[in-house]
Structure 1
Amino acid sequence: MTLAIVGTATVSCSTPDPHVSLTVDAPAALMDQPVHTRISGLSSGEEVTVTSRTVDRHKALWHGRATFRANGRGQVDLDTAAPTSGTYRGADGMGLFWSMAPIKGDPEAASFVPPSSPKNTYRVSLTATVHGRQLAARTLTRAWAETGVTRRDLTVSADKVAGTLYLPAPGTPRHPAVLLFGGSEGGNSNTATAALLASHGYPALSIGYFNLPGLPKALQSIPLEYFATAARLLAKQPGVDPQHILAMGYSRGSEAALLLANDYPHLVHGAVVYSPSAQVNDGFPDRGAFAWTKGGKPVPEGVIPLSHVSGPVLAIAGAADLLWTSPQWARQIDKELDGADNRYPHQALIYPNAGHGLGTFPYLPAGTHLTNPVTGRDTDLGGTRAGDATAREASWSKVLALLTSLS
């Protein structure tokens, strides 16, 4: 996949050394694309520190660091070399990206949000320092939308749904499409994921269902018909294969995604659910209210039926989820589909050391605590930053592979 970006790979040395080089294979790439980095020209066994730096939407500086010893050829390949110290452990070619932390504040309570940019890009600088001297540097451009991807904001007053529609570049062949929505945080929280999906050729609509203009203030009495309206809107877009529309729901949104796949099987043809629930829960933050309605009647709490699902289901959970029992629920979803003799691919993906915040796409730094914008409450989501990073990378490849299989 090619990004039409120029001038993104630069080399700068505060004290030039013609023998030391820092090379990367993807100086301009989508945010979910790995970068392979190598340091060359060192002495055998020589110590080098590689740092990463970037700036978030609030102009706060983030950085990562890893110290290595060169191999017998005077090289360090970040894909295979384990740092002797730094912000991550073990060989990981993208460790300097996901392990970045803010200069100020608790990294467990912070998540990196890229700065707003008309070009849908942000920059990460990598530097190699030996004996206190910066000998090589690269500046990389990371993008959340490929050139040609179009964006359109939707409002309840004009479109009957609130969200953001991303479509692949004009002329892209028809592909499966994805309807995305988040959980109890409310708002429209999956725009970057939708932009990346469109960049891979899959039309995507990220919607909010409460806590946006024209929508309920809380997760209470949300009509399933609202999601069905969004799915029908998505099905009509150019480049969409209307026979393959998946719902992607996170946390509380997983309930809506599974209900849609079961209750509207001719419209929504499967689901991808992160940190899911296998049952309908009560409203939020008012625990005495119903969360969902259909036909004007409350959807009762209890196990979500899956006997009518007409497409694949991926249930993705972290084994260390502290918010709720998503690993057990993911297994229950898979077992229920087995029991219904569902003929479509379905799988529970459970990742060790990952918590409730294990999704969706990889390589952005994210903490393990969340302050809910609705309640203002700080919550420990469980897992570790490294565990979540591993889960994001592995599960995202599974999601893209599933979409490819439907194309």
Structure 2
Amino acid sequence: MTLSVIPRRVLVDEVIKIVVNKLMPRQKVTIITQLEEDKKRFYSYANFEADRNGVVDLGVHPSLSGSYTGVMPMGLFCSMLPVPGQKKGLRLIKKDVTTAMTFDIGVYDGVHHVTGTRHTTPLMSCGSVERSYLAEGVTVQEVEQGNIRGKLFLPKGAGPFPGVIDMFGTMGNIITFRSALLASRGFATLALPYLHYKDLPKYDYIHIES
């Protein structure tokens, strides 16, 4: 039995092809995906039945149960949840966009209902994929001009580029994963914080004049 994950390095908005080959016809398997990011752990899983050729293709065959159901090529990634036993309310937010997220994928025989990453069923095959927000060639510049603080993400090349100002809500600090991906797709993007960042205000009420 073989697990194919193609490609192995992608931007986070790209589709990954996941195929399990050389199974028995109609064999049932469970595919589990795991991620550790910033000391936080996330997982998802889905149960499949191979076709008459012994193939499970996530872009063709539906998940019968698990973290999602139906045909979703990227279902294992968009349905990830925090591993139980951690702090409540965890969210998967990429803080350091200069590093990729490595997702580990494992295939197990039979149908399993997974509540975490510990299980006793033998692993049949495994693989991994790196998903990034920052494309090669994108540059990042710190911005400190007047009372403006932030980070400017510039696409590779001479430009000119369309521009975007990227602001989040009352979370505070600076959140850059969206800016990095926009720059990776050709937009000059300014990640613009306005709370709890460097010497910016610490309170949650900001008056914005027109």
Question: What TM-score results when the alignment is normalised by the length of structure 2?
Answer: 0.85
Q: With CA pairs under 8 Å and 6+ residues apart, which has the higher RCO, 1 or 2?
A: 2
Alpha carbons of structure 1 residues 162 and 27: separation in structure 2 relative to 1, 3 Å: same
Q: CA offset at residue 110 of structure 1? A: 2.2
Q: Deviations over 1:328-354 (max 9, x none)?
A: xxxxxxxxxxxxxxxxxxxxxxxxxxx
Q: CA offset at residue 215 of structure 1? A: 2.6
Q: CA offset at residue 176 of structure 1? A: 0.8
Tell me if structure 1 keeps the 8 A contact 2:95–2:177: no
Q: CA offset at residue 28 of structure 1? A: 0.1
Task: State the distance in 1 between where 2:100 and 2:16 align.
Answer: 16
Q: CA offset at residue 95 of structure 1? A: 1.1
Task: State the distance in 1 between where 2:99 and 2:184 align.
Answer: 12
Secondary structure of 1:53's counterpart equals strand
| Counterpart in the other structure of 2:90 | 110
Tell me if structure 1 keeps the 8 A contact 2:31–2:46: yes
Corresponding position: 1:127 with 2:106: yes
1:154 to 143, 164, 167: 143
Give the letter for the 1:207 counterpart: L
Q: Deviations over 1:43-100 (max 9, x none)?
A: 111011111011011x122111111000111111112222222111221111111212
Task: State the distance in 1 between where 2:13 and 2:146 align.
Answer: 30
Tell me if structure 2 keeps the 8 A contact 1:101–1:107: no
Alpha carbons of structure 1 residues 221 and 140: separation in structure 2 relative to 1, 3 Å: closer
Secondary structure of 2:134's counterpart equals coil
| Counterpart in the other structure of 1:136 | 125
Q: Which runs of 4+ in 1 moved over 6 A?
A: none
Secondary structure of 1:293's counterpart equals coil
> For 1:7-406, what aligned pairs fall within 5 Å after superposition?
20-57=1-38, 59-105=39-85, 109-114=89-94, 116=96, 119-131=98-110, 132-155=121-144, 158=145, 160-169=147-156, 171-189=157-175, 191-222=176-207, 292-294=208-210
Give the letter for the 1:145 counterpart: L
Secondary structure of 2:108's counterpart equals strand
Question: What TM-score results when the alignment is normalised by the length of structure 1?
Answer: 0.46
Task: State the distance in 1 between where 2:203 and 2:94 align.
Answer: 27
Fraction of identical pairs, as percent: 26
Q: CA offset at residue 216 of structure 1? A: 2.9
Task: State the distance in 2 between where 1:137 and 1:172 align.
Answer: 41
Q: Deviations over 1:258-309 (max 9, x none)?
A: xxxxxxxxxxxxxxxxxxxxxxxxxxxxxxxxxx324xxxxxxxxxxxxxxx
Tell me if structure 2 keeps the 8 A contact 1:52–1:125: yes
| Counterpart in the other structure of 2:113 | none
Max Rg structure: 1
Secondary structure of 1:195's counterpart equals helix
> Which stretch shifts more, 180-189 or 21-30?
180-189
Unmatched segments (≥5 aa) in structure 2: 111-120
Tell me if structure 1 keeps the 8 A contact 2:94–2:177: no
Task: State the distance in 2 between where 1:32 and 1:141 align.
Answer: 12
CA RMSD of aligned residues (A): 2.2
Secondary structure of 2:169's counterpart equals coil
Q: Deviations over 1:142-192 (max 9, x none)?
A: 11101111112223xx553111111112x2442211111112223323x10
Secondary structure of 1:193's counterpart equals helix
Secondary structure of 1:211's counterpart equals coil
Alpha carbons of structure 1 residues 108 and 79: separation in structure 2 relative to 1, 3 Å: farther
| Greater percentage in strand | 2
Secondary structure of 1:175's counterpart equals coil
Task: State the distance in 2 between where 1:210 and 1:107 align.
Answer: 24
Secondary structure of 2:13's counterpart equals coil
Give the letter for the 2:45 counterpart: R
Give the letter for the 1:180 counterpart: D
Tell me if structure 1 keeps the 8 A contact 2:27–2:54: yes
Give the letter for the 1:177 counterpart: G
Aligned residues, how many? 200
Task: State the distance in 2 between where 1:35 and 1:75 align.
Answer: 17
Q: Deviations over 1:239-264 (max 9, x none)?
A: xxxxxxxxxxxxxxxxxxxxxxxxxx
Task: State the distance in 1 between where 2:90 and 2:68 align.
Answer: 17
